[in-house]
Structure 1
Amino acid sequence: MTTPLHNQIEQAYAEFSRQREALSALAAESERAETTVTSKNRAISVTVNGRAAVTSIRFPISAYRTMPAAELGNLIVETIEAARTQAANEAMERYRSSLPEALSDMDPHNGGLDVEAMFSRAARMMNDDRLGDLLNGQRGGGRHE
């Protein structure tokens, strides 16, 4: 015979497993993602991968040939940053639909999202809050502030 607490724990674990699978699929999608940004003057086009690493810099038109070196350098840096920012925002949008509200504030910058860290945090939250509430409720107690 199973207890109500056991059933609740099994349900919580099943939901946790479903969320983990969904996030793993999103992580794989993010790994395959590419984002390309072209500078406003169309002189430079930068592509970054799902981890915001630069994979390509192209010069679609010959405008770069007549640009002063400092201007060209600044344009390259600005375009790379714009591509990284756009890639991070696109990744966050992919995750936002599947993330619990408490996890949606994670910063995707600096190398992408760490799914394992997200699950560690979720497990701690579940252990601290939901599981604690389940155990306290099962004992007839509850949280006392």
Structure 2
Amino acid sequence: MSESINDRVAEAMAYLKATQEAVAKAQSELNAASMTAHSADRAVRVTVGGKGELTSLEFLDGKYRSMAASQLSASVLEAVNQARADMARRVVETVDPLTRLTPRGMAPERMGVDWSSIFGSLLSENSVEKGSTAMDRLRDEIHEDEEEPATPTGRGTESKRQRSE
């Protein structure tokens, strides 16, 4: 039995209404959403809104007073990038199912939105991975530049190369 045109139109209208309601709900959730992140050194806490905009920046425990400008800058960027990456993942989790919804159910994954073209490296697990942050690179550079303390005999300690062998 074939469906009448009226039945097909009614089905399409019901699908359209359900989709509009789901989109409105997702938009409302994301408009109210925020993500908070700390820098690895716990000197900075930031919050971003649903569009990734910076809504709050806090310097914690007065640590900024003893930090070089480049260290503070790296801490701020690290926390902002982490919060933005978390928000990007939240947007994808919320919106992706809607982008693949069809009148007959969910479309295959390949028919969804290419989120990496929208959010770029923010969705990459490596984008905010520990050990690759600007703050960690700065700490490594500072550590490499430090002179090693002299031993009681007046001579320096063994070199880095000797320690690693």
2:4 is aligned to 4
Question: Quick one: distance in 2 between partners of 1:13 and 1:103?
Answer: 22
Question: Quick one: distance in 1 between partners of 2:75 and 2:52?
Answer: 18
1:15 is aligned to 15
Q: Given residue 8 of structure 1, which amino acid in structure 2 is its aligned partner?
A: R
Instruction: Tell me the SS of whatever aligns to 2:7.
Output: helix
Deviation at 1:106, TM superposition (A): 4.0
Alignment of 1:34-113 (within 5 A): 34-100=34-100, 101=107, 102-106=111-115, 109=119
Identity among equivalent pairs (%): 26
RMSD after superposition? 2.1
TM-score of the two chains, using structure 2 as the length reference: 0.58
Question: Quick one: distance in 1 between partners of 2:34 and 2:45?
Answer: 13
Deviation at 1:104, TM superposition (A): 4.1
| Higher RCO, 1 vs 2 (CA within 8 Å, ≥6 residues apart) | 1
Deviation at 1:79, TM superposition (A): 1.4
Alignment check: 8 A CA contact 2:46 2:58 kept = yes
Deviations along 1:17-53, whole A, 9 cap, x unmatched? 2112111111011000111001111110010011111
- Name the count of aligned residue pairs: 108
Instruction: Tell me the SS of whatever aligns to 2:36.
Output: strand
Structure of greater Rg: 2
